[in-house]
Amino acid sequence: MEYGKINSIEETDKGYFTISIIQKVAYNTKLRKFNVWNVKELKKVMGDALCKDTLVTFTSKKDGVYHKLVTMEESNFSECSGCGAYTPLRNKQQIECELCYGSPMEHPRLEEELKLVKTQIKEYTYSPGITLTFCGDVKEDSLLNHLYVTTVFENSYLYNKLTELKVGDKKHVSGWVDKTDDNSVTFFNVEDVKNIL
């Protein structure tokens, strides 16, 4: 059983729907995309909940190189406060989930107000990607600023949003730290970029 939030539903003229689901896993966020042919059945199961932002449990199965959506229904679930993964409903006392409990791979949470100092769009082997470099100190310019670097590929739910950012924008950036080099550059998996309130 997997947990996710419906990100988009698009009707095609070929008789199927394309559904994308945001799935938070330990220290990262994935976007799962499915072509769904049994639309009638899915509408019957989901009703009005078949729309963006509905929380769902789903099962998928590998079919050749693709993953096929087997079942999907509206559901409630929890979000682990340790690693951010969607998990079965848990009580508030449980701090870590089984995905991150005792995990040797610990990723600190990133929650910072950062200034975008560089964007670079590049063709990677499998898809275009955008690399964003943020600077840590939004108040003063300094040569000793700590830099925060993240790369997002075209299939990410954030790609379009991130390509619209402009150098100089100051944003609230959240995500998970991947690694920090020499205390001067932090590489991270971005989860969201929001306006500073």
Question: What beta strand segments (E) does 106-146 contain?
Answer: 109-123, 128-135
Structure tokens belonging to residue 153: 């590929």
Number of other CB atoms surrounding residue 182 within 10 Å: 5
User: Residue 45 or residue 99: which is nearer to Zn ion going by CB?
Assistant: 99
Shortest separation between residue 101's beta carbon and Zn ion, angstroms: 7
User: Residue 103 or residue 151: which is nearer to Zn ion going by CB?
Assistant: 103
Q: How many CA atoms lie within 13 A of 95 on its CB side?
A: 2
User: Residue 99 or residue 135: which is nearer to Zn ion going by CB?
Assistant: 99
Shortest separation between residue 26's beta carbon and Zn ion, angstroms: 6
Residues that bind Zn ion (CB under 5 A): 80, 82-83, 85, 97, 99-100
Shortest separation between residue 34's beta carbon and Zn ion, angstroms: 25
CA 162, 152, 107: angle at the middle one, nearest 5?
A: 110
Shortest separation between residue 18's beta carbon and Zn ion, angstroms: 30
User: Residue 73 or residue 106: which is nearer to Zn ion going by CB?
Assistant: 106
* Distance separating alpha carbons of residues 130 and 159, to the nearest angstrom: 8
Structure tokens belonging to residue 6: 């419906």
* Distance separating alpha carbons of residues 190 and 156, to the nearest angstrom: 10
* Distance separating alpha carbons of residues 7 and 19, to the nearest angstrom: 8
User: Residue 92 or residue 139: which is nearer to Zn ion going by CB?
Assistant: 92
Shortest separation between residue 148's beta carbon and Zn ion, angstroms: 23
